[in-house]
Every structure is written in structure tokens, then in C-alpha cells.
Amino acid sequence: MNTRLQVEHPVTEMITGQDLVEWQIRVAEGNPLPLTQSQLKIDGHSIEVRIYAEDPANEFLPSTGVIHYLNVPTQSDYVRIDSGVVQGDEISVFYDPMIAKLIVWDQSRDQAIHRMQRALRQFNLGGLKTNIGFLKSLIDHPAFQQGQVSTHFIDDYETSLLFAPPVITAHDFIFAALYLSKESQSRPDAQDPWRVLHGWQLNTPARQHFCFRSQDSVVNIELCYHGDKITVMSGDRLLTLQVEFNGDELVVSGDISERMVAVRSGSEVILFKQGGTVTVTEYVYEAQPSTESSEKHLKA
């Protein structure tokens, strides 16, 4: 008997309800197999995907970095996650870049596909490149859903599977500014108007100004607060929005309506949206060193 576990043993466990690792331990102790093949009952359908730190757009080469943000689906009888990493861990060049196995179960293949689609939408990771977007496009592909799968699947549908990353839109800069505004208000000194950089002025609505990189230019976003409403000035556009935060979830309504998860990763704001994940980079102005010596001089 081959006592080594099959690589995708979670799928077998999900459709049989058996714990194969426990079986291994029992056999190692000299006990017989708990069940024979004929006694096993197969129930439902299970699908497994592997979450990897890799770049599908660059021939699936491994990626490295720190996991600055990690939010995974809630585990249940229908969803299972096998993983050994947590938020804050580093994916280095010294080990396999696999982050997790995500396994789902349901009564039929179609139901299992729908459950995997939901689970992948809830699996958000920031800090390094992963194959999550690729897995979403694979599970969503009509050919996969119809069972037309072979070892040439990726080659046959490469164009539709390996799409370019979502383009950053003008709205994304606004969403990033809204997130940074909320983050600044969560600081310990957020109630001190003399210590926070939110544009506080006497007898006028509070304002905040944010800058972001956009290729070779800088995008400026200004937020002006009027009670529970925010006026957003972006270029020549003027928008009125209402914002609600549910944990990491950002819900925007008004002139723009969208729901997403927003997190910070260093100088970047990562937006996990329905249409894909985009990363917006904050622009920080650097003070220019003075060419004049200020030693023993006071300048005003």
C-alpha cells in the first residue's frame, strides 16, 4: 500500500467525509484501514484551487514580498482552507510560493463552481502578486463551466484567461482618497486639529487634500466635508458622495455607487473591487534641500 497522501486529498475528504490523515496515523500504529473501498460513500462535488504567489502575466513566475493584508472566506462544511501563512508573513525565494489551498463542496458540480466563485471573491490578499485573478477568470470561463477541460486548457484559452490587469480609473483615485481620509481619522491624535493634516480651519468645512501617482503625472483629490456628505473635487469634476465603512469594506453612494475592500500596503492603497484588484500609489512630496546654509541664521 502507498501510504503517501495524494496531493489533492482535501477533495477526497470533502466528498467522502473521511479524514485521510487520521487514517495514516492509524495505519502507522498498526491498525487496519477503517473502511474498504466498497464501504466508501461518495457525496456531492468538490473543487480545489491553489492560491500561489506568482505572476500569471509573466509566465507564472513566483513573486516575493510581505503579505500586508489577508482576508479569507469563512470556513464551513462547504468551504475549507488549508494554509500555513498569516497576515504579516513573508513569501521568500527559499520556499514553495503556495499560499493556500481553497476547497469547496456542494451537491453538484454547478453548485460547487458557484460556491468557488464566491469564495474567490472573498479571498483578498495584498502585498505581492498572486494568481487569484487568474483563478477567477478560469472558474468563470464558459468552457470550464461546461466541463470542456483538458491539459491544454490554458494554452487554448490563454487570451481570455491571462488578461491585462484592470486599468486604474479616475474613480479609483477618489476611492483611495476616501480610504486614506478614514485612516487619518482613526489615528490616536485624530481629534487634535493642530497635529493632523486634514485641512482643518476655523468656521469652514473640513477639507483634505491627497495626491496620487498616475504614470508620469500627479492626480490631486480634494475632499470637503459637509455633515455626512463629502464633496469631491478631482480635476474639473465635482461630485457629492456618502461613505460608509464596514470594517475594511468601503461603501460609496451618491454620484458614484460602488462597494469594495480597501487596505493600505506601504505607500499603496489596494482596492479589491468586483471587476478586479487595482493598486493606487500615494504621491508624497519630498522637501527640496536648501542650497543656502542656515547655520547661525534665522530665516522667516
Q: How far is CA 299 from the centre of its chain?
A: 48
Q: How many Å apart are CA 184 and CA 191, to the nearest integer?
A: 10
Q: How many Å apart are CA 26 and CA 23, to the nearest integer?
A: 5
Q: What is the DSSP string of 188-203?
A: TTTT-TTT--S---TT
Contact 231, 223 (CB under 8 A): yes
Question: In the chain, which ranges are continuous DSSP H helix?
Answer: 9-16, 20-28, 109-122, 132-140, 142-145, 153-156, 158-161, 170-185
Active-site amino acid positions: 4
Contact 229, 237 (CB under 8 A): no
Residue 235 makes CB contacts below 8 A (sequence gap 6+) with: 170, 219, 220
Q: How far is CA 19 from the centre of its chain?
A: 31
Q: 259 vs 165, 171, 254, CA distance in Å?
A: 19, 12, 12
* β-bridge mates for residue 277, sequence order: 272
Cell of 276: 478586479
Q: At what angle do helices 109-122 and 132-140 cross, to 10 degrees?
A: 150
